[in-house]
Structure 1
Amino acid sequence: MESEESLGNADKDDYESSAHSTPQEHKSFAEIAKDKLDSAGRELRRRLPMAGQLGAHLIHPRRLLLHSTPTQHTDVVLIFPKGLPDSMLLWLLQKLRGSRPRLQVCVRQHATSQCSAFYITADDDVLLQTAEEVHLPKLLKPEFGGGYKEFTVRDMHCFQKGTSAAELLNSQERGALVKHVLEAARAEPGDEHALEPALTLRPGQSIVPACVSRGVVASMFPLHDRQALESLRKKWVKTLFTPQPLDEISEYFGVKIAMYFAWLGHYTQSLTVPAVVGFIFWIWLGTANENWKDIAYVLFSLFNVLWACVYLETWKRYSNVLAYKWGTLDQRDDLLVEPRPLFQGEMGISPVTGRPEPQYAAWRRRVWRHCVSFPVMVVCLIVAAAATTAFLRAMDWWETRIVYFTWIPRAFLAIIIAIEEELYARIARWLNDKENYRLETKYENHLIVKIALFQFVNSFMSLFYIAFYLQDMDKLKEQLAVLLITRQVIGNLKESALPYIIENLRLAKICVDVFGAISPSKAPTSAQLTEMFEKKTDSSGGSPENNLINGGTEKDGDRRDSEPVIGQKVIHQAELESQLFKYDGTFCEYLEMLTQLGHVMLFSSAFPLAAVCALLNNAAEIRADAFKLCHVAQRPFGQRISNIGSWQHAMEAMVAVAVLVNCALIGLSGPVHRLLPDATPAQTVLVIVALEHVILVIVLALRMAIPEIPGWLATEMAKVEFQRREAIKNAHAPLMSECTSQDDVRPPSRNTATPTTPKQNDKPERKKINIGKIPEIPPFS
C-alpha cells in the first residue's frame, strides 16, 4: 500500500507538471491526444501497478546498469557456478592469495544468481613489475628518443605519464596484467586431487585457465570502465557515417579487437569499387548486345581477381601503419614469449630465459599432426562434400518429380550444414588441443587453417556443384543471391539482436527481484547507493566456512552481501556484468567475412550485385559488432598482435582459387566459344590456361610492386631510431647511458621502432621490488 501511495503521488506530480507545461490556452489535436494517452497510461498503472512497473522494466531494463553501485578496487572478476563446494573455493583462494606476486582477492556471493565470485586486483608495484615481465611497450618521452620501448621499472621516469601506475596503465592494460598474474599460478606436487572430481591437475599446470576450460570457473572478465565505454557508445555505436575511433578501441578493448575493426572498415571501404563496377555491369547486361556482354563478362571476372589482390596488398600496408602506431610492429622472438596457459608438458628450465616452464618435444606434435589430424581432416572434408552433393542431387530429383514443397530439401540441407559446422568445429578444436602448441598465435593460426578449409568446402560446395556440374548460370545467380542475403540477415539477428533481447529479459528479471515494483528510473543515484552501502553493517553471524573463505580477518563490509544487498536495494556493477554474454572473440567474425569475400571473388561474375549486397551488409555489420561489444557482451581481455595472422594467408589463398574459378567459368559459360567460334575444344582449353597464367603473373607482379611498409613509415621509423641513438650518445638520462646493448641500438635496416630490453648478460644488476613487504589492502573500504 505504501508503494502504491508513493506511486500515486508521483503520478499526480507528473500529471500536474504535464498539465501546466503548455502555456497556450488552446492546444493542438496532437497535444490533446498525447495528454489523453498519458492519462490512460497513468490510470492503467494506478489500477495495475505491478504491470506498469513490469512494462517499464521490459522497456528500460538497462537503466539498472546506470544505477548500479560501481565496483571499486577490482580489475578482474571470477564467477563460479552455483553449488561449487566451499572446499574448492577455499583452496583456490589460498592459491591466489599465496601467489607471487601477491594478489588481493575478495569473496562475494551474488544475490541474484547465488553464485560465488572472486573480485581480484593487485597493488601498483605488482602491476608495474608484471608490466616489465610481459615486456609491455610504452611510449617514451620525446627527450629520450620517442617511439615505443618495452617498459622497465628502473626507467619509469623516461616514459610518458610515467609518474605512477594509475597514469601509466589504462584499465585494459591493468586487466590484462592481473590476468597474467592469475595464469602464472601453477599447480604444485600434491595439488593433483584438490579439485576432483571436476578437474585433475598436473604439476606445473596453470590453475585458472584449466578451471575455466573445465567449468570450475564459469567466467572470467575485466570490469567495464563506464566513462570510457559511454564515450565509445557515442562515437562508435550511435554513429553511422563517421570514421571509427580506432585509437580509442585499441586503448579500451586491446589491439586484437581494434585490428579486426580496422580490417573490417578497410574491407568495407574497398568494396565500394567492385560494388560500383558491378552495378554498372548489371545495368550494361540489360542493354548491350550479345558480343559486348561476353566481353564485359570476361573483363568483369578478371577485374574481381585483380581488385582482390590490390585490396589485400593495401591492407598489409595499412595494418603495418596501425601496428607501428599501437606499438606492436616489432614483435619479440617466439622463444622469448611466454607459453600459452593451456600449453602442457613436463616442467623444465627454458634454455633461453632460464625460467621454469613446460617442455614438449616438437616431434610429438608433428607425429600427431601428420598421423592423426591430417587424416581426420581429410575424412571430415570428404564426408561433408559427399553429404552436400547427395542433398543437392535429392533437391534436383525433388524439384523434377514432386515439384511441390521444394523448401523441404533446402531446409534439410541448411540443417545438415549447420550440424556439420558445429560438429567439425568441436573436432578441430580437439585436434588442435592435442597438437599442443606453445604460443597462442600458433594455436590460433593452425585452428584457422582447419576450420577455414572445412568452411570453404561446406559453404561453396553447392555453388561449385551448380556452376561446374549443372552448368546453370541462372541457378548459380539465384543460389548466390539467396546465400548472401539470408546469411547476412540471420547472422546479424543471431549475433546481436537475439542476445540483446535475451539479456534485456535477464536484466528485467533482476529489476523485479531486487527492486520489486520500483522502476530502475526511480532508483536512488549511484552516489546515494554508495553512501548507503558504506553505512550498512552486517549484523548476521557468518558460518565457519564463510569466515574461513573470507580470510577470517576481513571487515564486515567485505563479507558476502546477499541479504543486505536486497534489503537495501543495492546491486553492484560486477554482479550485473556477470549476467552479460561472454564475448567469444573475433574468430567467428573473421570466418563470416572470409566466406563473404569468397562469394564476391569467386562467383560475383554470375551475380554482379554481390559486392553491393556485401557492402550494405558490412556497413551494418560494423555497427552490429560494435553494439555487441558495448551493450551485450562482457568486456574481453586485451591482446596485442601485429597483424591478423593466418586470416591474411587464407585470403591470399582465396585469390589464387579465384583465378582458377573465374577462368573456368569463362570457359564453361560460353563467352570464349562465342568470341572464338572457329576454335576447337583443345584450343579453347589452351586459351583458358594461357589466360589463367597471365592473371597469375599479374597478381604476383602486383604483390612485388606494392611494398608492405610505406615509404613515409620507413622514414619515420629511421627517424625515431636516429633520435634514440642521439639520446644515447648525449647521455640525457640513466636509461640512455646505461642501456647500450645491441638490442636497444639496432641498425635501421631492421625496420623496427620498438627496441627490446637489454640482454641478461649486458645489463647491470637491477633493483628488485620486495613483494613480500607489500601490505595487504582490502579491495573494498
Structure 2
Amino acid sequence: MEGEENMGNADKEDYESSTHSTPQEHKSFAEMAKDKLDSAGRELRRRLPMAGQLGAHLMHPRRLLLHSTPTQHTDVVLIFPKSLPDSMLLWLLQKLRGSRPRLRVCVRQHATTQCSAFYITADDDVLLQTAEEVHLPKLLKPEFGGGYKEFTVRDMHCFQKGTSAAELLNSQERGALVKHVLEAARAEPGDEHALEPALTLRPGQSIVPACVSRGVVASMFPLHDRQALESLRKKWVKTLFAPQPLDEISEYFGVKIAMYFAWLGHYTQSLTVPAVVGFIFWIWLGTANENWKDIAYVLFSLFNVLWACVYLETWKRYSNVLAYKWGTLDQRDDLLVEPRPLFQGEMGTSLVTGRPEPQYAPWRRRMWRHCVSFPVMVVCLSVAAAATTVFLRAMDWWETRIVYFTWIPRAFLAIIIAIEEELYARIARWLNDKENYRLETKYENHLIVKIALFQFVNSFMSLFYIAFYLQDMDKLKEQLAVLLITRQLIGNLKESALPYLIENLRLAKICVDVFGAISPSKAPTSTQLTELFDKKTDSSGGSPEISLINGGTEKDGDRRDSEPVVGQKVIHQAELESQLFKYEGTFCEYLEMLTQLGHVVLFSSAFPLAAVCALLNNAAEVRADAFKLCHVAQRPFAERVNTIGSWQHAMECMVGVAVLVNCALIGLSGPVHRLLPDATPAQTVLVIVALEHVILVTVLALRMAIPEIPGWLATEMAKVEFQRREAIKNAHAPLMSECTSQDDVRPPSRNTATPTTPKQNDKPERKKINIGKIPEIPPFS
C-alpha cells in the first residue's frame, strides 16, 4: 500500500508538473522540456531502481581515479610484466636493496592485472644526500643573500624551508631524486646472464633504464600528488582564457615541461600578429587591383620572415627570464654532468671527477655516424621524396581524369606523410642509440637533427613541387590549406582524443572486474559505493603479495595501502595510474609546432589564413596538452633545462630557409615581372638576389640588436650576487666561502666544519641588506 501511495504521489507530481507547464503560466519551452525530462527520470528510477547507480558507475569509470585509495609512502612505482619469472624479480629486488644509498622497496601484486610492482621511496637523509650529489638548486634565505644556490646538507639551515626534507623537497623533486638513485644501480661482473634471455647486461651498465628499454620493466613513473594535481586541473585545464600557471607547472611537472608550455603560450600569443595581418590581406585580395595585389604579396612575404625573426629573439629573452626565475639559467659544465643511463662503454675512471664511468671512444661514434647513419638518412629522404612525387603525379591524374572530389588524394597524401614520419622516427632513434652519446642533451640534439630534416622533406616536398615545378599558386593554396588542417585534426585525435578513449575503456574494464560480480538486486547505493572506495585495505582477504622493505618483512601495522582487494572492492591509486598512458615527453609536440611554423612562414603568402588556422589550433593545443598531462598520462619525471634546446636552432634554420623560399616565390609567381615589365631575366634574378641579401642583413641586424638577456635581468643577477657576498661578509657565514656564485661548479669540501648560525648578539653589528625582488613576469596564455 505504501509503495502504491508513493507511486500515486509520483504520478501526481508528474501530473502537476505537466499541468503547470502551460502557456497560460508563461512557461518557456526550455522549462517545459526540463519538467518532462525530470518526470521521465523519476519514472525510470521507479521502474529500474538499480540501473541509475550501476549505469552511472560504468559510464563514468574515471570516478575511480577520484575515489581510489591514495598510495602512501611511495615516490616511484615500477610495474613488471605478468610473465616475468620470479627469479628475475627477486634478483632485481636484491640489487635495489643493495644500492648505495639504500632504497625502501615494497613488493605488491596488483589484483586486476596480476602484475607485480615495486613501490619505492627513500629516507630523508638519502634524499638530502642525493640532492647534494645532483647539485639541486634551492632558494637561499634572504639573510644569506637570496637567489638560487646548489644545495648542500651542511648548509641546509641556510635554505628556505630547510628545517626538514619534507618541507625542502616537493613531490616532483623527490621522484627525480629516487629515479637518480635507481639509475645509479649498475651491473657488476657476474651479472651478465641474470636477466637472460630478455636482456644481457654488461658490467657497469645501468640496470633499471636497460630493463625499461627492453621491456623487463613495463613502466616506471612517479605517483601523482592529488591535491596539487587537482589545483592544476582547475587553474590550467578547466579555464580556457586564463593565463597558464607556469610556476605551478614548473613545481609539479618540472622545468622542461613548464618551458614547453611557456614557449607554446608565447608562440600562440605571437601568432595573433600574422593572423590579423593575414586576415586583412586575405580580405583585401578580393577588392584590390592586380598592381596592388602584387605589392601586398611582396610586403606580406617580407613581413612573415621579419615577424618570425622578432618572435624568436623575444622568446630567447623570455626564456632566460623564466630560467632565472626557476633557477636553471646557469647550467653546469658538460664534463661534470653524469652520463645518460643508457650510455654504453667499458668501465673506466673519469678524468674530471675521478669516479667510475663508462668510456666510449669518440672515433667509433664518428665512424658509425658517417658510414651508417648518414647513408641510411639519405636513403630514407630519397624514398620519402620519391614517394611524395609519385603520389603528386597520381593526384594530377586524378584531377585530370576524375575531376570530382579533388580533396580526397590530398587527404590521403597527408595520411601517407604521417605514416612515413612514424616509420622514420623509429629508424632515427635506432641510429641515435647506436651512435651512443654520453649526454642526454647531445643525444636529443642529434635526434632532433635527424627527425627534423626528414620532417622538412616529408612535410614540404609536395608544396615545393607545386610551387616551383608546377608554379600553380592556386593549387599551392589548396594543398597548404588541406595539409595544415588535416595534420592538425589528426594530431589532436592521435595525441589526446584517442588515448583518452582507450584509457576510459581500460578503466571501465577495471570497473567490470571489480564490481561486475555484484548482483543487481544487491547493487550498492552511491553513498555505499563512496564508502567502499574510501575503505582502507584490511590485512584479511587480500591478494597474494610479497612485502619486503630492505630485506625485512613488513608488519601489519606498516602495510602500505597499495594494492586493490577484489573482495573488498577497493581500488588503489598506484594500480590505477599504472593503467594510464606513458607521457613520451615534449619531442613530438615541438616537432608538430616546428612543422606548423614552416607552414606559416614558408608558403603563407599563398594562403594568408595559415596563421589564423595555426592560432586557432594552438589555442586548443595548449589546453589539449594540459588535459593529456593532467588526465590521460602518467606523471613524468621532472627535468631541469635552461632553454628549449636545439629546437631554437631548428626554428632559426626554418626562418633562414623562409627567406630563400619567399624570395624565390616572389620571382617565380609574377609580381616582379608585373611590377618591372621591362626587366630582363638577368635583371629579375639580380633584383631577387638583392632583395634576399637585404632581408638576410635585416634579420642578422635584428638578432644583434635584441639582447638575449634583458637589461633589468642582468642588473637583478648582479644585485643578488652583490647582496650574497655582503651577507657572507657581514654574517661571518662560511656557507658560500667555497662556492660564491650560482655558476661555480667546484664541489664542496667534505672536511669543512659545519657552520654555526650567527648569534643574536651579533645582529646589531650587521649591515642591513635590502633584498631585491624579481619583478613579476607577465604569463602567456
TM-score norm. by structure 2 comes to 0.88
Q: Separation in 1 of the partners of 2:146 and 2:375?
A: 51
The whole-number CA distance in structure 2 between the counterparts of 1:15 and 1:90 is 69
Asked whether the equivalents of residues 663 and 688 of structure 1 are also in contact (C-alpha less than 8 Å), the reply is yes
In the other structure, the counterpart of 1:436 is: 436
Contact 1:506 1:579 in 2 (8 A): yes
Distance 1:140 1:343 in 2: 35
**Does the 8 A contact of 2:332 with 2:743 survive in 1?**
no
CA distance in 2, matches of 1:369, 1:477: 39
Once the two structures are superposed, residues 564-586 of structure 1 have per-residue CA deviations (whole angstroms, 9 ceiling, x without a partner) of 71111111111111111111100
1:23, 1:772 → 2: CA distance?
68
Tell me the distance in 1 between the aligned counterparts of 2:373 and 2:559.
Answer: 50
CA shift in 2, pair 1:20/1:116, >3 Å: farther
- Note the C-alpha offset of 1:240: 1.4
Aligned-pair distance for 1:664? 0.4
* Contact 1:64-1:507 at 8 Å conserved across structures: yes
How far did residue 535 of structure 1 move? 9.4
8 A contact 1:264–1:622 mirrored in 2? yes
Higher mean C-alpha displacement, 767-776 vs 603-612: 767-776
| 1:730 paired residue number | 730
Cα distance 1:630–1:777, how it changes in 2: closer, same or farther (>3 A)?
closer
Distance 1:770 1:534, change over 3 A: farther
Partner Cα distance (1:151, 1:694) in 2: 50
CA distance in 2, matches of 1:405, 1:779: 45
Work out whether residues 275 and 609 of structure 2, in 8 Å CA contact, stay in contact via their aligned partners in 1.
yes
**Distance across 1 between alignment mates of 2:423 and 2:471:** 31
Cα deviation, residue 327, structure 1? 0.4
Deviates more, 1:727-736 or 1:233-242: 727-736
Contact 2:78 2:118 in 1 (8 A): yes
Q: Is the 8 A contact 2:106 2:549 kept in 1?
A: no
User: What is the DSSP-based 3-state SS (H/G/I as helix, E as strand, rest coil) of the residue aligned with 2:677?
Assistant: coil
Question: Cα 1:646–1:399, aligned 2, differ >3 Å: closer, same or farther?
Answer: same
More deviation, 34-43/266-275: 34-43
Q: Secondary structure at the match of 2:256?
A: helix
Distance 2:221 2:753 in 1: 32
CA contact (8 A) 1:105 1:779 kept: no
CA contact (8 A) 1:72 1:780 kept: no
Q: From the superposition, tell whether residues 692 and 202 of structure 1 become closer, same or farther in structure 2 (CA, over 3 Å).
A: same
Deviates more, 1:506-515 or 1:408-417: 408-417
- Report the aligned-residue RMSD: 7.9
> Structure 1 746/675 Cα, relative in aligned 2: closer, same or farther at 3 Å?
farther
Closer/same/farther in 2, CA of residues 732 and 143 from structure 1, 3 Å limit: farther
Asked whether the equivalents of residues 96 and 103 of structure 1 are also in contact (C-alpha less than 8 Å), the reply is yes
Q: Give the 3-state SS of the residue equivalent to 1:331 in structure 2.
A: coil
SS, match of residue 149 in structure 2: strand
5-14 or 361-370: bigger deviation: 5-14
Relative distance call for 1:223 and 1:414 in structure 2 (3 A) is same
Q: CA shift at 1:38, angstroms?
A: 3.9
**How far does the alpha carbon of each residue in 1:274-322 deviate from its partner, in whole angstroms, 9 at most, with x for none?**
1111111111111111111111110110010000000000000000000
Residues of 2 paired with 1:651 and 1:398: CA distance?
35
Q: Which residue in the other structure is 1:297 paired with?
A: 297
Tell me, what secondary structure is at the counterpart of 1:764? helix
Tell me which residue corresponds to 1:254. 254
CA–CA distance in 1 between the matches of 2:255 and 2:753?
17
CA displacement 1:226-245 (0-9 Å, x = unmatched):
11111111111111111111
Cα deviation, residue 513, structure 1: 2.1
Contact 1:310 1:702 in 2 (8 A): yes
| Structure 1 residue 768: Cα displacement | 34
Check 1:49–1:437 CA distance in 2 against 1; reply closer, same or farther (3 A cut): farther
Q: State yes or no: 1:66 paired with 2:66.
A: yes
Whole-angstrom distance in 2 between the partners of 1:373 and 1:756 = 57
Q: Measure the CA separation in 1 of the matches of 2:528 and 2:753.
A: 49
Q: Which moved more, 1:174-183 or 1:492-501?
A: 492-501
Distance in 2 between residues matched to 1:412 and 1:377, nearest whole Å: 24
Deviations 1:185-238 (A, max 9, x none): 111111111111111111111010001000111111111111111111111111
Aligned residues: 781
Q: Which is worse superposed, 764-773 or 690-699?
A: 764-773
Task: Answer yes or no: is the 8 Å Cα contact 1:50–1:517 preserved in 2.
Answer: no
Aligned position for 1:33: 33
* More divergent stretch after superposition (85-94 vs 765-774): 765-774
CA distance in 2, matches of 1:608, 1:190: 65
Q: Is the 8 A contact 2:471 2:669 kept in 1?
A: yes
Distance change in 2, residues 1:617/1:144 (3 Å): same
**Change over 3 Å in CA distance of 1:181–1:92 after alignment to 2:** same
Inter-partner Cα distance in structure 1 for 2:757 and 2:396 = 65
Q: Supply the distance in 1 between the matched residues of 2:773 and 2:516 (Cα, whole angstroms).
A: 47
Distance 1:444 1:750 in 2: 35
Distance 1:716 1:199, change over 3 A: same
Q: Percent identity?
A: 95
Q: C-alpha distance in 2, partners of 1:296/1:772?
A: 49
State the SS of the aligned residue for 2:112: coil
Contact 2:349/2:356, CA 8 A, preserved across alignment: yes
- Name the stretch that deviates more: 538-547 or 453-462: 538-547
Q: Deviations over 1:536-569 (max 9, x none)?
A: 8877799999578994622246779999711111
Distance, in Å, in 2 between the alignment partners of 1:760 and 1:464 is 74
Question: For 2:553, what is the secondary structure of its paired residue?
Answer: coil
Aligned residues of 1:110 and 1:561 also touching (Cα < 8 A) = no
Distance 1:223 1:483 in 2: 39
Partner of 2:776: 776
- Pair 762,548 (structure 1): closer, same or farther in 2 beyond 3 Å: farther
Following TM superposition, by how much is the alpha carbon of 1:37 offset from its aligned partner in structure 2, in angstroms?
A: 3.1
**2:623 alignment counterpart:** 623
Mean Cα displacement is larger for which, 543-552 or 395-404? 543-552
Separation in structure 1 between the aligned mates of residue 636 and residue 94 of structure 2, nearest angstrom: 26
Q: Which moved more, 1:355-364 or 1:328-337?
A: 355-364
2:122 alignment partner in structure 1: 122
In 2, distance between residues paired with 1:406 and 1:74? 57
Secondary structure, in 3 states, of the residue corresponding to 1:463?
helix
User: Closer, same or farther in 2 for the Cα pair 1:528/1:732, shift >3 Å?
Assistant: farther
Deviates more, 1:48-57 or 1:647-656: 48-57
Q: C-alpha displacement at 1:406, in angstroms?
A: 4.8
For the residues of structure 2 that align with 1:739 and 1:701, how far apart are their CA atoms?
Answer: 38
1:83 CA displacement: 2.0
Q: Cα–Cα, structure 1 residues 3 and 432, in superposed 2: closer, same or farther, change >3 Å?
A: farther
Question: Are 1:64 and 1:520, in contact at CA under 8 Å, matched by a contact in 2?
Answer: no
1:519 corresponding residue in structure 2: 519
Asked if the contact 2:343/2:436 (under 8 Å) is kept, the reply is yes
TM-score (normalizing by structure 1): 0.88
> Does the Cα contact within 8 Å between 1:144 and 1:724 map onto a contact in 2?
yes
**Cα distance in 2 between the residues matched to 1:472 and 1:751:** 75
Q: Secondary structure at the match of 1:761?
A: helix
Q: 1:16-55 CA distances to partner (integer Å, 9 max, x unpaired)? A: 9999999999998766654553454455456556654453
Q: Is the 8 A contact 1:717 1:753 kept in 2?
A: no
Which is worse superposed, 644-653 or 109-118? 109-118
Q: Distance in 1 between matches of 2:125 and 2:779?
A: 15
Alpha-carbon distance between aligned partners in 2 of 1:752 and 1:669, rounded to the nearest angstrom? 73
**Mapped contact 1:108–1:560 kept (Cα < 8 A):** no
CA distance in 1, matches of 2:520, 2:319: 44
Q: Any stretches of 5+ residues in structure 2 without a counterpart?
A: none
> Using the alignment, how far apart are the partners of 2:178 and 2:25 within structure 1?
64
Instruction: Give, in angstroms, the shift of residue 104 of structure 1.
Output: 0.5
Change (3 A) 1:175 1:373: same
Cα distance change, pair 577–765 in 1 and its aligned pair in 2 (3 A): farther
- Change beyond 3 A, Cα 1:98–1:298: same
1:393-438 Cα deviation digits (max 9, x unpaired): 1211232134456566445534432332122111100110011111
Q: Which residue is equivalent to 2:339?
A: 339
Distance in 2 (alpha carbons) for counterparts of 1:737 and 1:494: 53
Cα-to-partner distance string for 1:702-732 (whole Å, 9 max, x where unaligned): 1111100000000001101111221222244
Question: 1:593, CA displacement in angstroms?
Answer: 0.4
Is contact 1:365–1:436 with CA below 8 Å preserved after alignment?
yes
Structure-1 separation of matches of 2:573 and 2:440 = 31
Offset at residue 627 of structure 1 (A)? 0.6
Structure 1 residues 147 and 89: alpha-carbon distance in aligned structure 2, compared to 1, 3 A threshold: same
Q: Residue 745 and residue 567 in structure 1: after superposition, are their counterparts in 2 closer, same or farther (change >3 A)?
A: closer
Distance 1:128 1:673, change over 3 A: same
